[in-house]
Structure 1
Amino acid sequence: MRHLRALCAIADAGSLHKAARQLGMSQPSLTTQLRRIENALGAELFSRERTGCRPTPLGRSVLSRARPLVSGMAALVTEARAAAGLADGPRLRIGSTASRALVGWLRRLRNRLPGTDISLHMDVSANALLRMLAAGQLDVAFVHEVEGCPLLVPEGLERRVLVEREPQFISMARDHPAACSPVVELADLAEDRWMVDPTVDGEWDGLLRVLGAAGLNPPVLHGDYLTAASLIAVGEAVAPCQPTSGPRDDMAIRPLRDDPLAVRLLLFSRPGAVGAGGRDEVFADLEASYREAALRAVDYRRWLTAHKSPLLHAPAA
């Protein structure tokens, strides 16, 4: 099963690097594992290309048999754990990509649902979280969808839209020349190195699309956003960031003119995993927590005010 999961992860991610991140292992280890599987079968299952990995005809055949087995095993484990945990009381399993709304959301849920075992699973890949949700490993998933890069949503999941279009701001060194402006032009960043995490679904493609549309072709570095923050602070790079990002003494966060970069914030759930009323309450707590994080971020609050956003006003009780 471990080998079959690895094959499915490589096919879904489209690259060994992304698949290794999703599986929690190093890329060399996954490459070695794939080589062993291919040696055992006597043929290549993936063709290695500059843009990633693509299943060969044999690979597609193997994957068509592997996916039902992996899904069935995941369902079996989930059902067994659920049966074993029935006596332990109610639980809520949350999956999420990174968000500054999470702290407030978990606090509200714990206050609303005393005695409920609430767990959190974080992943950079929204698609991976949706697969876990469909397999019964999560009850709800809070994810973002990069504009122009639709998520691969499994059938049967229920969706609520938290924010239809959240603008992505830019983080840069505090002494960057563009930091003195309240709104930054893309052209002002044409000579900068940009940094993006290619393991975040859609982020690489979304950034290239926006830069290309503006006629820009700056150098783009690949790396996680924790590393990016260190490079940004010393002026080595700029990077897209969530508008709810908190202030730092060594970093400036500014909106882009006309908001070319954006994501959609979505909450998915499995039918029956959370009751109809419970689903509404979970969403309401997320909405309140996001509003709290948004209004705490000074530049985002200014943006919301300028755009007369309904987020400025709490919904009626």
Structure 2
Amino acid sequence: MDLELRHLRIIRAIADSGSVSKASTQLGVAQPALTAQLKRLERALGGTLFDRDRTGARPTPLGEMVLARARVLLPAVKELQDEAVRFANSSQYGYRIGATNGAILGGLVDRLAAQRTVSTFTSWSSSELAGMVEMGRLDLVLIGVCGDSRPPNDAICWATIGTDPVFVLLSATHPLAKEKELELAELADEQWAVTPGDGCFADCFAASCARSGFTPNTIYEADVATCTHLAQVGRAAVLCQATHQAAPGLAMTPIAGAPLRWRHLLGVRPATPGAAWVVDQARQAHADAVRRSPVYHDWLVRNPAFGTAP
């Protein structure tokens, strides 16, 4: 006889109720039938599962071992069934997404919301967001890391969505705004504006500037709107992801040699239903963002190692 889930439920019911008679009432099975079933289980498992007398039924050492496994397996199967039902019914299952600043979130939400309910939470801290996924407060997190840096949390599953160069935003009236590409050294006299984060990007930028022979001037750390304004009025050059959609009055220009890279990562809580599908949707959202950026799209023709992950 093969062991089935219903057999584990019988063993658990007898142990929890303390007697075969009480378990038969709980399970809605006649006591003689339950007793016969227990005897068949004991023969199949090779030993007595319960010591039975007038005071009730107590698990034997074999019974304790089987019961311990049953208490793990039965809730796990119940959770699997519940997750499957929620996933099959798109109106009942949703995704909670955390994200840092980037051009992919809107496209990903648009794609997921066509089939699932979606909620979002944003933060400048990728470590905070990854921690929320690990604790179960979020299902997914969309972040970026500098170059080949490791993601901030090894307890969740990560997939690379795409790798972009970092470009520079300048005022459309800037003397260098019409250049097809700029050496980083040509920007040595600029003030800079960047959005905040908790990775190594600031250090990598400083190192790139040092290799180009200069130390960056004032660096303003501000939100996206403020960085955009500072660039528009010619107060600062702004480092941006190549998928960024430049606002009116701005020119987005590649930096020669792509000294700075930004890797988009999607972190997923283990056992999140449809994780592979979400990764595919995120990559399609990234590809859409690339297509919306003529400057980046043209640059990729000459630099095919970048772009959306396969």
User: Common fold, TM-score beyond 0.5?
Assistant: yes
The alignment yields a C-alpha RMSD, in angstroms, of 2.4
Structure 2: how far apart are the matches of 1:192 and 1:295? 29
C-alpha deviation, 1:145, in angstroms: 0.5
Q: Deviations over 1:271-297 (max 9, x none)?
A: 11x22xx11111111111110111110
Structure 2: how far apart are the matches of 1:279 and 1:198? 29
What's the counterpart of residue 95 of structure 1?
98
What's the counterpart of residue 271 of structure 1?
270
Which ranges of structure 2 fall in alignment gaps of 5 or more residues?
Answer: 1-85
Q: Of residues 191, 214, 217 in structure 1, which corresponds to 2:215?
A: 217
Q: Of residues 294, 298, 303 in structure 2, which corresponds to 1:298?
A: 294
Structure 1: how far apart are the matches of 2:283 and 2:197? 27
What's the counterpart of residue 208 of structure 1?
206
SS in 2 for 1:177: coil
- Distance change (3 Å), C-alpha of 1:311 and 1:199: closer
- Distance change (3 Å), C-alpha of 1:234 and 1:193: same
What's the counterpart of residue 57 of structure 2?
none
Structure 2: how far apart are the matches of 1:247 and 1:232? 11
What's the counterpart of residue 226 of structure 1?
225
C-alpha deviation, 1:201, in angstroms: 2.8
C-alpha deviation, 1:234, in angstroms: 1.1
Which ranges of structure 1 fall in alignment gaps of 5 or more residues?
Answer: 1-85
- Distance change (3 Å), C-alpha of 1:157 and 1:302: same
Residue 254 of structure 1 aligns with an amino acid whose one-letter code is: T
C-alpha deviation, 1:241, in angstroms: 0.4
Structure 1: how far apart are the matches of 2:206 and 2:100? 21
- Asked if 1 retains the 8 angstrom alpha-carbon contact of 2:185 and 2:213, the reply is no
SS in 2 for 1:162: strand
- Asked if 2 retains the 8 angstrom alpha-carbon contact of 1:110 and 1:118, the reply is yes
Which stretch of the first structure deviates more once superposed, 144-153 or 90-99? Answer: 144-153
- Asked if 2 retains the 8 angstrom alpha-carbon contact of 1:196 and 1:220, the reply is no
Alignment of 1:239-258 (within 5 A): 239-258=238-257
C-alpha deviation, 1:170, in angstroms: 0.3
What's the counterpart of residue 174 of structure 2?
176
Identity, in percent, stands at: 26
Q: Deviations over 1:125-160 (max 9, x none)?
A: 11111111111111111110012654431x321111
C-alpha deviation, 1:311, in angstroms: 5.0
C-alpha deviation, 1:247, in angstroms: 3.1
Structure 1: how far apart are the matches of 2:289 and 2:239? 18
SS in 2 for 1:94: strand
Residue 109 of structure 1 aligns with an amino acid whose one-letter code is: L
Structure 2: how far apart are the matches of 1:264 and 1:125? 15
Matched, 1:105 2:101: no
TM-score normalized with structure 2 length: 0.66
What's the counterpart of residue 191 of structure 1?
189
- Distance change (3 Å), C-alpha of 1:104 and 1:198: closer
What's the counterpart of residue 130 of structure 1?
130
Matched, 1:308 2:307: no
- Asked if 2 retains the 8 angstrom alpha-carbon contact of 1:183 and 1:257, the reply is yes
Residue 96 of structure 2 aligns with an amino acid whose one-letter code is: R
- Distance change (3 Å), C-alpha of 1:270 and 1:200: same
- Distance change (3 Å), C-alpha of 1:202 and 1:226: farther
- Asked if 2 retains the 8 angstrom alpha-carbon contact of 1:168 and 1:262, the reply is yes
Q: Which has the larger radius of gyration?
A: 2
Structure 2: how far apart are the matches of 1:309 and 1:209? 23
C-alpha deviation, 1:182, in angstroms: 0.4
C-alpha deviation, 1:161, in angstroms: 1.0
Structure 2: how far apart are the matches of 1:126 and 1:119? 17
C-alpha deviation, 1:122, in angstroms: 1.1
SS in 1 for 2:291: helix
C-alpha deviation, 1:305, in angstroms: 1.4
- Distance change (3 Å), C-alpha of 1:198 and 1:249: closer
Structure 2: how far apart are the matches of 1:192 and 1:299? 22
C-alpha deviation, 1:124, in angstroms: 1.5
Structure 2: how far apart are the matches of 1:206 and 1:311? 20
What's the counterpart of residue 117 of structure 1?
117
Matched, 1:280 2:280: no
Structure 2: how far apart are the matches of 1:110 and 1:199? 27
What's the counterpart of residue 147 of structure 2?
147
